[in-house]
């Protein structure tokens, strides 16, 4: 897809950050803020890497430093083997950022918008791939349409196209599906997978956990400027010692029996019991025996695996609860 992707000298990591720190100085209105606290992070080449965290955790600051839009306070970072201090132009040329905001000039057609963007990146006319990019994003039939006739989904795809005009080996999608409907989210997921299959390393910042679970092979969770977890998606999920039993009684319950009352036992609207437990500490047969002792006849039982949301809450809000 791009000359960058098959360079034999390309490094094993797409992005590396070492002790990366960013402090926004205090001004008259706001106090100084440490947005990134000595971040160490390696994003492997060829991965779909998720950068998760609550709003204000430092995800955008991290991306903007890599893209050359924000100046770091200290530490180092490389993009596709190019140090952002020593080779800033090459580092910037190796990354395409798809912003969250739909900032598209209404006076250009999609084809003109991509041509203009390619010009800004200094891509020679003979090497521009405007129609090829539009076609890959299924926008070729809208190449010469007025911007105002494009749907929100098409505009979002066009932003992906603008980030691809200089054939970067790394594409960063900053909250790509924030505020879009389910249908469009699925379309964008499909697009991300296709770009990945063509050799692009994808970095995805999101606070939709379903999105990260669906797409990413590795995930880093950032909270309050620090990396609180970084592992493969499957390891993160496997490492979480949380499961739940969903018990359907023969007669729907009106309340949790006193014998079972605890903060791990909740009653569903349809009269079923939801019992959270840690497999390392609790045996299922002991839980079922307690249920029977409470006088409940079980009609059906199923288990629920933990998902990223559980991890996320445990890692981000668990720490805060301990601090407060």
3-state secondary structure of 156: helix
Percent of the chain with pLDDT over 70: 91
Same domain, 74 and 17: yes
Q: Of 72, 120, 73, 75, which is closest to residue 96 (Cα–Cα)?
A: 120
CB neighbours of residue 324 within 10 Å: 5
Residue 272 lies in a domain: yes
Contacts of 34 (CB under 8 A, 6+ apart): 21, 22, 23, 225
Same domain, 25 and 82: yes
Same domain, 275 and 182: no
Q: Of 236, 198, 190, which is closest to residue 217 (Cα–Cα)?
A: 236
Cα angle at 203 between 45 and 157, to 5 degrees?
Answer: 120
Residue 197 lies in a domain: yes
Structure tokens at 212: 């990260």
**Structure-model confidence comparison of residues 33 and 313, the more confident one:** 33
Domain count, the chain: 2
Cα angle at 172 between 98 and 150, to 5 degrees?
Answer: 25
Q: Of 7, 20, 1, 146, which is closest to residue 75 (Cα–Cα)?
A: 20
Q: Using CA atoms, how far apart are residues 249 and 172, in angstroms rounded to an integer?
A: 48
Q: Using CA atoms, how far apart are residues 66 and 153, in angstroms rounded to an integer?
A: 27
Q: Which residue has the tokens 């879009």?
A: 180
Q: Of 312, 59, 306, which is closest to residue 209 (Cα–Cα)?
A: 312
Confidence of residue 322 (pLDDT cuts 50, 70, 90): very low
Residue 42 lies in a domain: yes
Domain boundaries, position 223 = 13-94+168-238
- Tell me: pLDDT of 241 over 70: no
Same domain, 301 and 217: no
Residue 7 lies in a domain: no
Structure tokens at 283: 């045996």
- Which of 206, 238, 270 marks a domain boundary? 238
Same domain, 234 and 248: no
Q: Using CA atoms, how far apart are residues 154 and 142, in angstroms rounded to an integer?
A: 9
Contact 220, 277 (CB under 8 A): no
Structure tokens at 149: 């006739």
Same domain, 225 and 294: no
Same domain, 223 and 278: no
- Tell me: pLDDT of 97 over 90: yes
pLDDT tens for residues 192-236? 898 899 999 999 998 777 788 889 999 999 989 999 899 998 888
- Which of 238, 258, 283 marks a domain boundary? 238
Contact 229, 283 (CB under 8 A): no
Same domain, 179 and 299: no
Residue 160 lies in a domain: no
pLDDT tens for residues 259-313? 888 888 889 989 999 988 887 777 888 889 999 999 999 999 988 766 666 677 7
Same domain, 80 and 172: yes
- Which of 211, 238, 265 marks a domain boundary? 238
Q: For 238-255, what is the mean pLDDT?
A: 83
Evaluate the CA torsion angle 103, 107, 108, 110 in order and state its sign. Answer: positive
Q: How far is CA 281 from CA 38, 245, 274, 290, in A?
A: 35, 14, 17, 15
Residue 122 lies in a domain: no
Residue 27 lies in a domain: yes
Same domain, 172 and 213: yes
* CATH number (domain holding residue 294): 3.30.70
Percent of the chain with pLDDT over 90: 50
CB neighbours of residue 162 within 10 Å: 23
Residue 130 lies in a domain: no
Cα angle at 311 between 322 and 65, to 5 degrees?
Answer: 90
* CATH number (domain holding residue 84): 3.40.50.300
Alpha-helix runs per DSSP H in the chain: 59-66, 88-93, 110-120, 130-136, 152-164, 182-197, 209-215, 233-238, 284-293, 308-312, 318-323
Same domain, 19 and 60: yes
Contact 18, 76 (CB under 8 A): yes
Q: What are phi and psi of 299, to 5 degrees?
A: -90, -40
Same domain, 301 and 203: no
Using CA atoms in the order 55, 82, 7, 196, what is the torsion angle rounded to 10 degrees? 0
Q: Using CA atoms, how far apart are residues 191 and 210, in angstroms rounded to an integer?
A: 16
pLDDT tens for residues 164-195? 999 999 999 988 877 777 888 888 888 889 88
Contact 166, 121 (CB under 8 A): yes
Burial of 27 (0-12, 13-18, 19+ CB in 10 A): exposed
């Amino acid at each position: 897809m791009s000359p960058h992707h098959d360079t034999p000298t390309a490094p094993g990591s797409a992005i590396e950050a070492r002790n990366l720190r960013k402090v926004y100085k205090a001004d008259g209105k706001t106090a100084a803020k440490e947005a990134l606290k000595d971040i160490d992070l390696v994003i492997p080449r060829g991965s779909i890497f998720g950068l998760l965290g609550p709003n204000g955790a430092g995800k955008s600051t991290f991306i903007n430093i890599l893209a050359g839009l924000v100046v770091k306070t200290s530490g180092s970072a490389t993009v596709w083997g190019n140090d952002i201090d020593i080779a800033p132009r090459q580092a910037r040329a190796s990354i395409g950022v798809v912003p969250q905001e739909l900032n598209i000039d209404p006076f250009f057609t999609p084809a003109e918008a991509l041509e203009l963007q390619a010009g800004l990146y200094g891509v020679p006319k003979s090497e521009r791939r405007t129609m090829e990019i539009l076609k890959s994003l299924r926008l070729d039939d809208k190449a010469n349409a007025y911007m105002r006739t494009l749907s929100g989904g098409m505009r979002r795809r066009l932003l992906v196209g603008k980030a691809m005009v200089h054939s970067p080996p790394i594409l960063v999608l900053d909250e790509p599906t924030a505020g879009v409907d389910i249908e469009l989210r699925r379309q964008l997921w499909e697009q991300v997978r296709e770009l990945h299959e063509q050799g692009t390393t994808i970095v995805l910042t999101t606070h939709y956990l379903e999105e990260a679970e669906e797409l990413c092979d590795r995930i880093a969770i950032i909270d309050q400027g620090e990396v609180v977890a970084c592992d493969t998606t499957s390891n993160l999920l496997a490492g979480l010692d949380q499961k739940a039993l969903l018990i359907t009684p023969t007669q729907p319950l009106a309340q949790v029996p006193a014998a079972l009352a605890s903060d791990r036992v909740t009653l569903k609207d349809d009269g079923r019991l939801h019992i959270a437990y840690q497999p390392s500490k609790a045996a299922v047969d002991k839980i079922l025996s307690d249920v029977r002792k409470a006088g409940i006849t079980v009609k059906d039982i199923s288990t629920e695996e933990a998902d990223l949301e559980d991890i996320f809450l445990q890692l981000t809000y668990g720490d805060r609860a301990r601090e407060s």
